Structure 1
Amino acid sequence: MPNSAPTWLGHAQKTGTASAKAGVSARIYLAPNGGLDALKAAAVATSTPGSSSYRKFLTTAQYNAKYAPTTATVNAVRSWLQSAGLKVTGVGVANSYLAVTGNVAAVKNAFATTVNTYKHDGQSVQAPAGALSVPNSVSSAVLAVSGLDTTIRTMTHHDTTPPPPASFANGRPCSQFYGQVDAKYRADYKTLLPKFNGKVLPYAVCGYTGVQFRTAYEGTTDLSGTGVTVGIVDAYASPTIASDAATYTNNHGDGSYAKGQLTQVLPSTVTNTEECDASGWYGEETLDVEAVHAMAPTANIRYYGAKSCYDDDLLDTIHNVVVQNKVQLVTNSYGDAGEEGQTADVIAAWESVFLQGAMQGISFMYSSGDNGDELQDIGLKSADYPASDPYVTAVGGTSTAIDGFGQLAWQSGWGTEKYSLSTDGKSWTPVGYLYGAGGGYSTLFNRPSYQDGVVPANAPSGRAVPDVAMDADPTTGMLIGETQTYPNGGVAYGEYRIGGTSLASPLFAGMTALTLQAAGGKTGLGLLNPLLYSQAKSGNFTDVKGAPVDAGNVRVDYKDGNTRASGLLYSIRTFGQDSSLTTAKGWDDVTGIGTPNAGWLGAVAATAGGKAGGGKTGHPVAGHPVS
């Protein structure tokens, strides 16, 4: 059993010993048949081009028959728990875990540990004082234990914009495509703005649309995702997603949704709505759905909403995805800030689900985070989890210039420092680092073999993050549409620009749906990373390197977030300044192996000996006057 003591113990204040009668609620996750290591080896083999088992995936029933814990295992673990004084209150789907309740005295009997009370990171908690121990008779069956440490762990969504449904509108002027409008003058077109380092910068884009993203990344192709289903996992669910998504596509030429193309799988109840900022997650779902559809207009989208942002609830939702086995790709735009707090138990529980997905041909993609190296936010440099897990694909971010012809003019790593217009309006005042793509090197995972020969040999030895990247910078972000609540109390559909690696992940998932369509559509890819790193030097990914063409863009914001009448704020948002993370030739810790280009669409078909397919239907760029 991989259990370890809570990682926060080193900086916690012990406040006492928990009462023997204090209540306990926990989950005992069960190991797959044959052990986790064997499952890991099988998952990598089925996902590695050239392997004899490449893309020979299992159905859910076949997976359960071979790997799911048996009834005999459940009964043995149940008997041990009950003999210690714990009550088994439920068994997870496919015998994945046993839910138990009891008290601290029973925990001490079962796991040979002391339970204390502590204060850490603003929480008062009850937790084991050290690693747990289980009897030899069930040690191989117990994979992980959660819940004995009552620290509340939640995931945050990785988008960067004021959270809807409170209304927000991007200020004007802005550019319909990159560089369209120079920021020589203020919005009155009379008063000069100061230059930045001697240069007039462009106004930020109003927000790219699907037409622009498709042309820039996918080129001219008749592939559109037909026959592929992309899963999206977030917390909660927007009550207006269907109408919002339909309105957005009608406004921007992304193609209408066919009947049944967008479906939602939702929990019977939701919890912790205030703590998790449920309405903020509505915007996350909106972004994810509209970004996937933008890149793959005919792909099916299956949205799974967790009942809260708590780790266990999101894990249950991910497990439901693999149990249902109705999607080939899953984009996840959330994570923990840094790896601190992740124990071997937590990781084992998540990985068992990722590995089942890989064995069934499901690929998991996670946003790499929006706080760069995390030093500014949590006090130490760290990659985010689950993006740092070797069995998911971490999607980092770029700043992306799409020109008036829909072409990718240039791109840099996403990292932003802010400068505000001085009070006298004659200079720019530095504010400091604002945000940027997450990345770095894991302190929990060794570097997986699929990264060998691509990640520099002299880099730190941990799993390197991210793997790939797409547009994430809010300054060059996507225009999305959502029903919002306005200051006068009215509720109406509105559009605004948004960014973050929450944008990059669904963009990559949508584009990869076209890759699957080209290869036949129905069969997935499992763990994407062995294929991705085999493609690193193929030309199918564009290396992001060197300095950006412009130092940054000028952004205009309404003081009240809604109307020009409240006054305007001017700032410069720079490019390519991502904390201590940097872009460089080859793999780097901001953009991974780079951004996919049209060559990626045929990559899987080529490994199967097929043809990429795809005709030559172009996507014209919509033109609208600047308002």
Structure 2
Amino acid sequence: MSAYTTRQDLPGSLPAAASSALRLGALASDERFEVTVRVRPRAAPPDLAASAATLALKPAQQQQLSREEYAAAFGADPADLAKVADFARHFGLVVLDSSSARRSVFLSGTADQFAAAFGTQIEQVEHAGGVGRAVAAPLSVPSEVGDIVEGVFGLSDAPVARPHLQQLPEAQAAAGASFTPPQLAKLYNFPTGVDGSGQCIAIIELGGGFRTTDISNYFKGLHLPVPKVKSISVDGGKNHPTTANSADGEVMLDIEVAAGVAPKALICVYFAPNTDKGFLDAITAALHDKVNQPSVISISWGAAEKFWTPQALSSYDAAFQSAATLGVTVCCAAGDAGSGDENPDQGQPDGLAHVDFPAASPHVLACGGTRLKANGSSIASETVWNDDPLRSASGGGVSDFFDLPAYQNGAGVPASANPGGRVGRGVPDVAGDADPNTGYQVLVDGRRLVFGGTSAVAPLWAGLVALMNQKLGHHVGFLNPLLYGAAVGSGATHDITVGDIGAYQAGAGWDACTGWGSPNGAKLLQVLGS
């Protein structure tokens, strides 16, 4: 048996930004909790964001693997999983499960056992979610598994993301120009004659819940079929509706927008705790769900890159890279606090520009926000959403962590507004109506409300993807290379040229406010099918 006497540091196990949590002392040694250990793949999967050749490929020409094929080729080696399990048991930890496809080993143990296993100290802290735990020092692992372990998640239970939605005050909502999802689908020229049949849209939620009576009443009011909505528990997360001013608003917005566009699609809502472990486990659970087989994932939660550990940024991005290989489109909200991505109501901003993650991943479709005015069934005007560059504006900008992907080489991504002028991954890729003043009519906990935010844009695009998948008979998958390649100049998007998000200005072509712009669904479908 291995002695486990020498150790290797686990790079990137602490966030770059200083934590605002109040330290309360050492965590009780016998407190039990669960941790996910992320394991290397048996072979490096293809990286569709790194190859300029993908610009010339339509989704039908991309190699898209089944979930079984992916697990066999790029899942974790069973021998690696066994080594991690042996190491965990050596320190008294319980192996709850392991998954080659998800490249994960799921462990349970006490604070003392985890501290010894990962060479750190675990403290009790007071953070935004209440009293919880956090690591006080970087992590390490025994050398025997040093090249196998890519990340450890769950030692901290602080909330990692916030929902990107904004409610319009009810007095304003009554007089405002808001829309139902079908109205927006018509304005954005979504394909007709399709309803999402045969598709599954996965929605990731880190809190809140839905009521089936609301869903039934909402869709009956729209004269649409009531969609089939399944609740899937991850890490103990549950469908737990409370009141309309809770995360229920996010959950209902996501469901009602996605299903309002594609009412016959199966909607699977993956509920997980708002922690680095819960969020990652929900993503991998949805990606590798062989029962429901989502073809598109909608994520409306996120936070500025600086609040994430480098290991989280890398591990989540690796999961999204898997999605691209599986032909699963991932739509992520780009944020609601302008180019700073730090709402002053939630803490003191540092004055720098930040992009939101997971929208910053080069393997997702980052969705920014616009202000949309209609004239009957046509668009009268569309500009960048910016009611307040600190509190109510589309997110966007240049990543401090992710390099410029190959598909953005010719897009004109600007230098970062931060000192040093780094040119990295540009955010967003596309956009859609997000201004609460021209927002979405939803039903939440029995109340009819209007919401905006880029939270609404991610499920809007997810619904469009489901329609296109149905029409084409195959998954459109990783859309980004096509948007920056064959779709340029095709009219597949409405170019938004007026407005700013603080540090970045809109202009012709791609920009760091709304990407390529809002969808022209029928045109985009034409490009995909040509």
Q: Same fold (TM over 0.5)?
A: yes
Distance in 2, Cα, partners of 1:271 & 1:211: 31
Q: Which amino acid aligns with 1:579?
A: G
Alignment correspondent of 2:434: 472
Distance in 2, Cα, partners of 1:58 & 1:518: 20
CA change 1:230–1:315 in 2 (3 A) is same
CA change 1:124–1:225 in 2 (3 A) is closer
Q: 1:360 aligns with which of 326, 347, 366?
A: 326
Question: Secondary structure, in 3 states, of the residue corresponding to 2:456?
Answer: helix
Q: Which amino acid aligns with 2:511?
A: D
Is there any run of 5+ residues in structure 1 with no aligned partner, and where? 163-167, 175-203, 418-431, 485-493, 547-575, 607-627
Shift of residue 351, structure 1, vs aligned partner: 2.7
CA change 1:519–1:233 in 2 (3 A) is same
Question: Secondary structure, in 3 states, of the residue corresponding to 1:544?
Answer: coil
Alignment correspondent of 1:559: none
Shifted more, 5-14 versus 318-327: the winner is: 5-14
1:130-169 matches, within 5 Å, as 130=138, 132-135=140-143, 137-148=144-155, 150=156, 152-161=158-167, 169=170
Q: Map Cα deviations across residues 281-331 of structure 1 (whole Å, 9 max, x no partner).
A: 32222212221233234x413222314333322322222212224121111
CA change 1:64–1:310 in 2 (3 A) is same
Distance in 2, Cα, partners of 1:231 & 1:264: 10
Q: Which amino acid aligns with 1:155?
A: A
Aligned residues of 2:332 and 2:458 also touching (Cα < 8 A): yes
1:58-457 matches, within 5 Å, as 58-83=65-90, 85-94=91-100, 96-104=104-112, 107-108=115-116, 110-111=117-118, 113-115=119-121, 117=123, 125-130=133-138, 132-135=140-143, 137-148=144-155, 150=156, 152-161=158-167, 169-171=170-172, 174=175, 204-205=176-177, 207-218=178-189, 221-236=192-207, 238-241=209-212, 243-253=213-223, 255-257=224-226, 261-267=227-233, 280-297=246-263, 299-325=264-290, 326-336=293-303, 338-373=304-339, 374-377=341-344, 378-379=349-350, 380-404=352-376, 406-417=377-388, 434-456=391-413
Q: 1:39 aligns with which of 31, 34, 45?
A: 45
Shift of residue 444, structure 1, vs aligned partner: 1.2
Aligned residues of 1:24 and 1:104 also touching (Cα < 8 A): no
Alignment correspondent of 2:482: 531
Q: Which amino acid aligns with 2:225?
A: S
Distance in 2, Cα, partners of 1:312 & 1:100: 13
Aligned residues of 1:6 and 1:341 also touching (Cα < 8 A): no
Distance in 1, Cα, partners of 2:27 & 2:274: 29
Q: 2:11 aligns with which of 3, 6, 9?
A: 3
Distance in 1, Cα, partners of 2:198 & 2:133: 48
Shift of residue 6, structure 1, vs aligned partner: 1.3
Is there any run of 5+ residues in structure 2 with no aligned partner, and where? 1-8, 417-421
Question: Secondary structure, in 3 states, of the residue corresponding to 2:140?
Answer: coil
Q: 1:541 aligns with which of 483, 493, 507?
A: 493
Aligned residues of 1:335 and 1:369 also touching (Cα < 8 A): yes
Distance in 1, Cα, partners of 2:181 & 2:16: 43
Distance in 2, Cα, partners of 1:173 & 1:335: 30
Distance in 1, Cα, partners of 2:13 & 2:210: 41
Shift of residue 13, structure 1, vs aligned partner: 9.5
Distance in 2, Cα, partners of 1:275 & 1:508: 25
Q: Map Cα deviations across residues 319-369 of structure 1 (whole Å, 9 max, x no partner).
A: 221222412111111112x11231222123323332332222111111111
Aligned residues of 2:132 and 2:158 also touching (Cα < 8 A): no
Question: Secondary structure, in 3 states, of the residue corresponding to 1:335?
Answer: strand
Q: Which amino acid aligns with 1:127?
A: V
Alignment correspondent of 2:525: 601
Distance in 1, Cα, partners of 2:375 & 2:185: 13
Q: 2:457 aligns with which of 496, 504, 520?
A: 504
Distance in 2, Cα, partners of 1:244 & 1:67: 41
1:515-530 matches, within 5 Å, as 515-520=468-473, 523-530=474-481
CA change 1:30–1:100 in 2 (3 A) is farther
State the TM-score, normalizing by the size of structure 2. Answer: 0.83
CA change 1:403–1:24 in 2 (3 A) is same
Shift of residue 473, structure 1, vs aligned partner: 0.4
Distance in 2, Cα, partners of 1:282 & 1:275: 6
CA change 1:275–1:314 in 2 (3 A) is farther
State the TM-score, normalizing by the size of structure 1. Answer: 0.71
Shift of residue 22, structure 1, vs aligned partner: 6.8
Shift of residue 505, structure 1, vs aligned partner: 1.1
Q: Which amino acid aligns with 2:434?
A: A
Alignment correspondent of 2:37: 28
Distance in 2, Cα, partners of 1:244 & 1:15: 42
Shift of residue 594, structure 1, vs aligned partner: 1.0
Based on CA coordinates, which of the two structures has the bigger radius of gyration? Answer: 1
Aligned residues of 1:18 and 1:104 also touching (Cα < 8 A): no
Q: Which amino acid aligns with 2:317?
A: E
Distance in 1, Cα, partners of 2:451 & 2:25: 47
Q: Map Cα deviations across residues 261-290 of structure 1 (whole Å, 9 max, x no partner).
A: 423132288569999989723222221222
Question: Secondary structure, in 3 states, of the residue corresponding to 2:502?
Answer: coil
CA change 1:311–1:130 in 2 (3 A) is closer
CA change 1:15–1:481 in 2 (3 A) is closer
Does the alignment pair 1:592 with 2:515?
yes
CA change 1:60–1:114 in 2 (3 A) is closer
Distance in 1, Cα, partners of 2:22 & 2:373: 52
CA change 1:279–1:121 in 2 (3 A) is closer
CA change 1:60–1:587 in 2 (3 A) is same
Question: Secondary structure, in 3 states, of the residue corresponding to 1:214?
Answer: helix
Shift of residue 476, structure 1, vs aligned partner: 0.6
Question: Secondary structure, in 3 states, of the residue corresponding to 1:218?
Answer: coil
Alignment correspondent of 1:423: none
Distance in 2, Cα, partners of 1:67 & 1:352: 11
Aligned residues of 2:201 and 2:294 also touching (Cα < 8 A): yes
Q: Map Cα deviations across residues 383-438 of structure 1 (whole Å, 9 max, x no partner).
A: 1111111121110000001112x101110000104xxxxxxxxxxxxxx9541111
